[in-house]
Amino acid sequence: MNDLNIRTTGRAGRITLTRPKALNALTHDMARAIHDTLDTWHDDPTIALVIIDADGDRAFCAGGDIAAVYHAGIAGNHRVGRDFFRDEYRMNAAIADFPKPIVAFMQGFVMGGGVGVGGHASHRIVGDTTRIAMPESGIGLIPDVGGTWLLGRSPGRIGEYLALTGARMAAGDAIHADFADLYIPEADWPGLIAMLEVSGDAMSLRGHPAPAATLDRRDLSAFGGRNVPDIIAALEQQGDTDALDALRRNSPLSMAAGLAMVRAARSDDRMQQSLSREYRFTARATADSDFLEGVRAQIIDKDRKPAWHSDASEDKLNAMLAPLGDDELQWESAE
C-alpha cells in the first residue's frame, strides 16, 4: 500500500511509514496492514528482527488519522470508530507480544497512535528531535493504544501528569518515563539500520548517554490527588501555572477517565487488560463523550476552542468504563 513500505532486507523485516506530509498519521488500513505483516513474519525463519521507521524528519507518527471516524460519528455512524480502535489495539498488542525483536526508530512527533506503534517495540530508539506525548485529553479522548499501560509504569506520578496535561517529552524524559530505551543521534540511524539488516542482532544495539531528564526534578506530588478537582486545588497551592493551564484547557471527562485508567493499569498483568479498558471508553467515544467536539476544534475547524459538554461525574465515568457485553474487545477469538 502507498502509506507503508513493507519489505524484507537481509535478515530484517522492514516497515516504513510513508505519509510524511500527513506526519505519518496512522490510518485504519495501515493498522491492519502492520498487524497482517507481523502475523506473516511471526514464524518466518528468514526474519530475525523487525525494523519500524518512518519517512520525513518531522514525525515518526503524530497520531491516528481520525478524520474518517469524526465524519462518520457526526453522521451518526459509530461503527467506524469502534472498528478503527478495535483493529488498532489488536495491532498494538501484536507488536508488544511479537516473539522477535522489534526496533523502532522514532524521530520528531510521536503522539497517540504513534506511541501505539513505536512505544511497544522491544527496542525503542529516540534522538534529538523526538517529542513523545499522549495528548488525547485535549481532543476529548483518553490515552489509548496501550498508553495507560505505559503511563501506569512510569515512575512516581509521571503517568498521571502526562495523561492529564498531554505534555511532550524529549529523549531524556522519554527514557526516564519508560517510553523509550536508547538515545542514539539520528545521523547514526541509517548506518545502524544497515547493520541490523545484515546481522539480525538487536542485542548489539548500544545507546549513547541520554540528554538530561527534567521530569525527575519536577514536583508532581499534586498529581497524587484523589481526583482531578483535588489535583487542580493542589496545583493552585503550588502555583504551577503551566500544568493548570493544561488541565483547564482539556476535557474534564477525558481527564477523569484517564486518571482512573492509568491507576487501574498499574494492577494489570498484561497490556491487553489495559487495551480492553481503553476500548470501553473509545467504543463509546463518538456517541457519548467530548471526542467529536475535541476533534472539530483541534483538527477539523482548528479554532482551538472546544466547547466541552460531557460532565465528569462518577456516574458518567462509570458508564463510559462499563463492560461492553458482546462488544468487549476480544483477544483469543478468530478474526
Which of the residues are catalytic? 64, 113, 136, 144
Q: Are 89 and 278 in contact (CB under 8 A)?
A: yes
* Cα Rg, the chain, nearest whole Å: 19
Q: Tell me the H-state helices in the chain.
A: 28-41, 67-74, 79-97, 113-118, 147-151, 158-165, 171-176, 189-199, 228-238, 241-249, 252-265, 271-288, 291-295, 314-320
> Interior CA angle at 255 toward 87 and 253, to 5°?
85
Nearest Cα to Cα of residue 157 among 252, 251, 234, 270: 234
Which helix (H) or strand (E) segment is 182 a member of?
strand 182-183
Distance in angstroms (rounded) separating the CA atoms of residues 142 and 282: 8
Q: Are 94 and 39 in contact (CB under 8 A)?
A: yes
Q: Are 73 and 318 in contact (CB under 8 A)?
A: no
Q: Grid coordinates in use for 51? A: 525494523
Burial class (CB in 10 A: 0-12, 13-18, 19+), 57: exposed
